[in-house]
């Protein structure tokens, strides 16, 4: 099928001169925002500034789309429940090289670009690592010139806003759309009906043969597309992030309304809209509610209809789908797409099971992001069957196929077969989404070397045995545009001064910085950039928390979701032990530190919320004790978000990456810190292992049990009480916390939390405590020698290029998607 030919626009030449930009902003304010400059609010200026730059993006967007179509390029479809994008304005201005001119243009209109940039809502359509990775990948796919579409959900309320009241986390709704969203395009015409519930009819031919199944859903909801352009570095390519919003098929039941039932008339509309109203705030814990499964199916099904329609309109048939489309599953959240594609191929397009299964497997790939058993998704069969009856049948058919294949090898015990099965036959029968994703994909990848090996040995060992070669590693990455160039302009210009501009295009060039590690003058400059960033964070903390911190102290930072396995508790206990040591030995040469924490706890995760309270309780006592004034401070920064990370990461001297080994799949915060010249204190977990290899063992502080040792400990019956008894410092700190030293208002507040360490210590806090405390004193020793510290810090920045998400994406493109990416661009001027 051919497209209609484009009616060419008369060539629009955009003048990017500040004067011309200012005129355009003013005209936009008038004609598109509908405001006069005398009454325009800062939000109006923000909208106008964004729309002026958006115009420049649209042309490239259309050109990119057209090019992919004309060259019949294979497209990547990245399906993710979460996209933690953060603010977009700086990203777009800087990728298009318009930052300075826009600054000037706005200034001439009396508008401060930094002020309006701070007003842009931080789109928090994600929980943590997985969502932020999806956002970095979107930016990198555009930057390496790869034709890609992101597909997700347009949540009205992203991740909750966190307030700290009396030390406790309080969750408030987040309303990022309050002032509209100038980036998005609503595509009402791009809408699809999504069914739920109902029955399945079998259609037989005259001779009684089963011809096909027809699913007759009981309810329908409309999925409406909202598109956001994603600009790559230097505006090379613009891809689309398409987020689906739910709407009722019948916005109002007029008959009911006319009969006087005004509320009933809107029931369907309200119910439909509630589907995409909120993001589930639990990471690493399966929500288990029906609404979550509905969300998963809703966006997977809408995306698949969209993908198939695009493919059919260009190629007219579906056998070529795997050659022209790579569909990627960001964790199992969209794994239902596998059953949906099978349904569409068989029930709608009339292909047989074998052909459909072959196409499906060649089209899909799946990334696993966690091995925590409580995070592995599975759905009770009764819920699944009621909501998606046809998909249930298809999953049984896929399972039969997989189990038949497994049995044919005659090497598997019944137990192994039951672990391979897509159905968990426990007390409550459930569909295992991980096994479905594994079986229906040609590639299954982990997100760091260690995590990938553990996948092979643990959750997926039987499936790995059945399909060897399917599991592969793709170590995560971060986009250097946001996580160096935008968040750390001071360091960026220092690096440009030292080694030129090539690293902006080709991150690998950062390694040229190595030779400056021993250059005393450069080290001083590096230190003064860090100092500036620390001043910025200090001001932020002073303004929001009325807390003074000394920017010459070491900034020790742990920011991430609050979770027991990430061991914020280990860090807090060590702070208590250090506090005790400083008080008992005031004569010693203590290195001044400020310990920063930030992070949200899942609203239903009581232990994590208690850990936040503990951090605040300990902070209150330590911060007001004159005995440690100037030596130790604790700060909990509320409402952690991408924007807060952009302030905290460049200001960190020490990066805390201290998860129990074997439990953090990769981590990406670890990469952001090291790239910005922080030294890591960390366990051999996730990507810390590879960071250590890249920056060198001398430039990172590693401590604690290895994943293997943790396993062995657990197997051999680890006794935490014995470990505590061997460590007087730990015993003392635990007893202080447990007895209420930090919670005089409620002395028993932490008794159970601390008892948990004595009795179970699932996360090996006691086992690693001494090693951690020793490592912290080694950190102090390095800090004591400033030139040595900054030499190490510089070597971190210099050797982190490999962790660019451009590298990660090129590996996905080559090994998994088999799509073409652009070459490393030539040196820019």
Binding site for ligand 26W (CB under 6 A): 127-130, 133, 282-287, 331, 369-370, 375, 377, 447, 476, 664-668, 686
Q: Does the annotation count 668 as an active-site position?
A: yes
Nearer Cβ to ligand 26W, position 21 or 336? 336
Q: Are the C-beta atoms of residues 809 and 145 closer than 8 Å to each other? A: no
Q: How far is the CB of 566 from ligand 26W (least distance, A)?
A: 9
To the nearest whole angstrom, how small is the minimum distance from the Cβ of residue 700 to ligand 26W?
18
Helix axes 489-499, 520-545, angle to 10 degrees: 170
Contact 467/793 with Cβ under 8 angstroms?
no
Residue pair 607/565 in contact (Cβ under 8 Å)? The answer is no
Q: How far is the CB of 559 from ligand 26W (least distance, A)?
A: 14
Nearer to ligand 26W, 32 or 285 (CB): 285
The contacts found for 543-552 with CB under 8 angstroms, 24 or more apart, are 544/637, 544/638, 545/635, 545/637, 545/638, 547/623, 547/633, 547/635, 549/594, 549/633, 549/635, 550/592, 550/594, 550/630, 550/633, 552/592
Q: How far is the CB of 503 from ligand 26W (least distance, A)?
A: 24
Please say which residue, 126 or 756, places its beta carbon nearer to ligand 26W: 126
* Contact between residue 728 and residue 738 where contact means Cβ atoms under 8 Å apart: no
**Nearer to ligand 26W among residue 101 and residue 473 (C-beta):** 473
Specify whether the CB–CB gap between 773 and 574 falls below 8 A: yes
Closest listed residue to residue 421, CA positions, set 398, 393, 442: 398
Q: Is 369 a catalytic residue?
A: yes
If the CB atoms of residues 178 and 374 are measured against ligand 26W, the closer one turns out to be 374
What's the start-to-end Cα distance of the chain, in Å? 43
- Rounded Cα–Cα distance for residues 166 and 151 (Å): 40
Q: Nearer to ligand 26W by C-beta: 345 or 388?
A: 388
Pair 650, 487: CB distance under 8 Å: yes
Query: Nearest 5°: phi and psi at 169?
Result: -75, 130
- Select which of 363, 668, 808, 821 is catalytic: 668
CA 433 to chain centre: 20
When the beta carbons of 377 and 690 are compared against ligand 26W, the nearer one is 377
Rounded to the nearest whole angstrom, what is the least distance from the CB of residue 791 to ligand 26W in the complex?
28
Q: Of 672, 792, 795, 810, which one is the catalytic site residue?
A: 672
672 tagged catalytic: yes
Nearest to 644 by CA among 179, 167, 162, 173: 162
Instruction: Single out the catalytic residue among 560, 567, 609, 613.
Output: 560
In a 10 Å sphere around its CB, with 0-12 CB exposed, 13-18 middle and 19+ buried, how is residue 676 labelled?
buried
Least Cα distance to 143 among 100, 94, 103, 184 occurs for: 94
Query: What would the two tokens of residue 179 be?
Result: 């002032």
Q: Which is nearer to ligand 26W, 133 or 510 (CB)?
A: 133
Strand 429-432: give its sheet, edge to edge: 378-380, 429-432, 423-425
Nearer to ligand 26W, 122 or 145 (CB): 122
Nearest approach in angstroms of CB 292 to ligand 26W is 7
Question: Whole-angstrom Cα distance, residue 448 to residue 808?
Answer: 11
User: Minimum distance between the CB of residue 824 and ligand 26W, rounded to whole angstroms?
Assistant: 25
Report which of 393, 375, 374 is spatially closest to residue 385, judged by C-alpha positions: 393
SS3 content of the chain, % helix, strand, coil (to 5): 50, 15, 35
Q: Which residue among 74, 132, 369, 481 is the active-site one?
A: 369
CA distance 141 to 150: 10
Closest CA to 628 of 598, 597, 593, 653: 593
Q: Are strands 210-216 and 83-86 parallel, antiparallel or unpaired?
A: unpaired
Contact 264, 253 (CB under 8 A): yes
d(C-alpha 435, C-alpha 335), whole Å: 9
Q: What is the nearest approach in angstroms of ligand 26W to the Cβ of residue 87?
A: 20
For ligand 26W, the closer of residues 369 and 795 by Cβ is 369
Q: Compute the least distance from the CB of residue 287 to ligand 26W, in Å.
A: 6
Catalytic residue among 561, 600, 633, 810: 561
Comparing CA positions, the residue from 502, 505, 499, 497 lying closest to residue 480 is: 505
Q: How far is the CB of 393 from ligand 26W (least distance, A)?
A: 24
State in angstroms the smallest separation of the CB of 369 from ligand 26W: 4
Q: Give the pair of three-digit tokens for residue 168.
A: 């406790």
- Cβ distance to ligand 26W smaller for residue 181 or 330: 330
* Residue 399 tokens, joined: 């399972």
| Position with the least CB separation from ligand 26W | 129
Bridge partners of residue 171, in order along the sequence: 162
Q: Closer to ligand 26W at the Cβ: 87 or 369?
A: 369
Give the span between the Cα atoms of 700 and 684, in whole angstroms: 11
319 is catalytic: no
Question: What kind and span of H or E run contains 443?
Answer: strand 443-446
Output the 3-class SS for 227-284.
EEEEECHHHCCEEEEEEEEEEECCCCCHHHHHCCCCCHHHHHHHHHHHCCCECCCCCC
Given 157, 391, 470, 566, which residue is catalytic? Answer: 566
- Shortest Cβ distance from residue 702 to ligand 26W (Å)? 17
* Residues identified as active-site: 369, 560-561, 566, 668, 672
């Amino acid at each position: 099928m051919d497209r209609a030919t484009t009616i060419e626009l008369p060539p629009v030449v955009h003048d990017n001169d500040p004067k011309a930009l200012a005129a355009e902003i003013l005209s936009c304010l008038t004609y598109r925002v509908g405001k006069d400059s005398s009454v325009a609010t800062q939000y109006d200026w923000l909208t106008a500034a964004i729309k002026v730059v958006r115009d420049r993006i649209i042309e490239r967007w259309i050109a990119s789309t057209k090019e992919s179509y004309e060259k019949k390029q294979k497209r990547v479809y990245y399906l993710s429940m979460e996209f933690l994008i953060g603010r977009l304005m700086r990203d777009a201005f800087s990728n298009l090289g318009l930052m300075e001119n826009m600054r000037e243009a706005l200034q001439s209109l009396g508008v401060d670009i930094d002020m309006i940039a701070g007003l842009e809502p931080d789109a928090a359509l994600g929980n943590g690592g997985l969502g932020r990775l999806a956002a970095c990948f979107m930016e990198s796919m555009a930057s390496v010139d790869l034709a890609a579409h992101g597909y997700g959900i347009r949540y009205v309320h992203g991740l909750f806003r966190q307030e700290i009241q009396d030390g406790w986390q309080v969750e408030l709704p987040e309303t990022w759309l309050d002032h509209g969203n100038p980036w998005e395009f609503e595509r009402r015409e791009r809408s699809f009906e999504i069914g739920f519930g109902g029955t399945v009819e079998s259609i037989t031919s005259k001779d009684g043969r089963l011809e096909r199944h027809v699913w007759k859903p009981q309810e329908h909801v409309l999925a409406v597309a909202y598109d956001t352009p994603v600009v790559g570095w230097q505006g090379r390519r613009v891809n689309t992030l398409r987020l689906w919003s739910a709407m009722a098929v019948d916005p109002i039941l007029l008959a009911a309304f006319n009969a006087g039932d005004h509320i009933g008339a809107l029931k369907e509309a309200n119910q439909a809209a509630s589907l995409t109203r909120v993001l589930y705030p639990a990471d690493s814990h399966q929500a288990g509610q029906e609404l979550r499964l509905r969300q998963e199916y809703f966006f997977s099904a809408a995306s698949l209809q969209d993908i198939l329609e695009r493919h059919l309109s260009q190629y007219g048939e579906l056998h070529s789908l795997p050659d022209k489309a790579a569909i990627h599953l960001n964790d199992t959240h969209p794994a239902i797409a596998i059953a949906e594609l099978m349904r569409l191929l068989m029930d709608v397009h009339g292909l047989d099971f074998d052909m459909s299964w072959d196409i499906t497997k060649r089209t899909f790939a799946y990334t696993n992001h966690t091995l925590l058993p409580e995070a592995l998704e599975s759905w009770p069969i009764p819920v699944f069957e009621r909501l998606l009856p046809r998909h249930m049948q298809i999953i049984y058919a896929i399972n039969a196929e997989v189990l038949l294949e497994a049995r044919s090898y005659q090497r598997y015990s019944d137990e192994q077969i039951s672990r391979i099965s897509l159905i968990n036959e426990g007390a409550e029968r459930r569909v295992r989404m991980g096994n479905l994703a594994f079986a229906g994909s040609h590639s299954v990848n982990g997100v760091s070397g260690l995590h990938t090996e553990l996948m092979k040995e643990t959750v997926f060992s039987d499936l790995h045995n059945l399909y060897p070669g399917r599991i592969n590693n793709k170590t995560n990455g971060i986009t250097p545009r946001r996580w160096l160039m935008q968040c750390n302009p001071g360091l960026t210009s220092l690096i440009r001064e030292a080694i030129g501009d090539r690293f902006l295009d080709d991150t690998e060039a950062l390694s040229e910085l190595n030779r400056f590690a021993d250059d005393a003058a450069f080290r001083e400059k590096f230190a003064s950039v860090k100092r500036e960033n620390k001043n910025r964070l200090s001001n932020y903390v002073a303004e929001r928390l009325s807390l003074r911190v000394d920017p010459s102290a070491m900034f020790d930072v742990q920011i991430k979701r609050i979770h027991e396995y990430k061991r914020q508790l280990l860090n807090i206990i060590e702070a208590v032990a250090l506090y005790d040591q400083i008080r008992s030995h005031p004569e010693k040469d203590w290195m001044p530190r400020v310990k920063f924490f930030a992070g949200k706890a899942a609203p239903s995760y009581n232990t994590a919320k208690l850990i936040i309270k503990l951090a605040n309780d300990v902070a209150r006592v330590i911060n007001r004790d004159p005995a440690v004034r100037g030596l130790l401070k604790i700060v909990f920064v509320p409402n952690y978000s991408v924007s807060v990370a952009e302030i905290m990461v460049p200001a960190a001297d020490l990066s805390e990456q201290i998860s129990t080994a074997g439990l953090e799949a990769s981590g990406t915060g670890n990469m952001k810190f090291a790239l910005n010249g922080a030294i890591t204190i960390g366990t051999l977990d996730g990507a810390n292992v590879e960071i250590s290899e890249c920056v060198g063992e001398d430039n990172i502080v590693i401590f604690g049990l290895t994943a293997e040792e943790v396993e062995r400990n657990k197997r051999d019956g680890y006794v935490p009480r014995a470990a505590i008894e061997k460590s007087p410092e730990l015993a003392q700190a635990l007893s202080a916390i447990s007895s209420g030293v930090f919670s005089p208002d409620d002395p028993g507040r932490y008794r159970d939390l601390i008892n948990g360490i004595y009795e179970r210590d699932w996360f090996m806090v006691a086992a690693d405590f001494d090693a951690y405390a020793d490592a912290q004193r080694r950190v102090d020793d390095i800090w004591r020698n400033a030139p040595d510290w900054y030499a190490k810090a510089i070597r971190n920045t210099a050797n982190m290029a490999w962790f660019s998400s451009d590298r990660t994406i090129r590996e996905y493109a080559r090994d998994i998607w088999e799509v073409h990416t652009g070459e490393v661009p030539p040196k820019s001027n």
